Amino acid sequence: MGMENGQAARGIGMLDPFTYGKFEGFGRYEWSDGRVYEGGFRDGKKHGKKARYKLKSGKVYIGQWENDQPSGFLTFTYESGRTGKALPQNRGNGQFGFAEF
């Protein structure tokens, strides 16, 4: 998880010696462009319920992640406080976006 889409990143979380240095359990992951993921990890991938994903714009998505991808409905909040629902959209090559409504 040192690089994602060309962005340097650093992780802060639990490392389990039995997972060969991969994140396991709850942790925080920060990218150099300002994005932050706080939530569960399994086998070094983002995975868990009620995970928090903050974009560099300040918008925050909260929801479930499975196998390094958002899954199902998520809620989002703008810095202004406006809220809504979103569905993740797979854009291929590990890229994703959100359809908001």
Can you give the residue ranges of every domain in the chain?
3-100
User: How many residues in the chain?
Assistant: 101
Q: Higher-confidence residue: 91 or 38?
A: 38
pLDDT value, residue 97: 82
**Tokens, residue 59:** 């918008």
Under DSSP, is residue 19 helix (H, G, I), strand (E, B) or coil? Answer: helix
Confidence of residue 96 (pLDDT cuts 50, 70, 90): confident
pLDDT value, residue 3: 40
Angstrom distance (rounded) from CA 53 to CA 93: 19
pLDDT at 7 over 60: no
Residue range 25-58, pLDDT digits in tens: 888 888 888 899 999 998 888 999 999 999 988 8
What b/e string do you get for 10-47 counting C-beta neighbours within 10 Å, with b at 16 or more? ebebebeeeeeeebbeebebbbeeebebbbbbbebebb
Tell me the fold of 3-100. Answer: 2.20.110
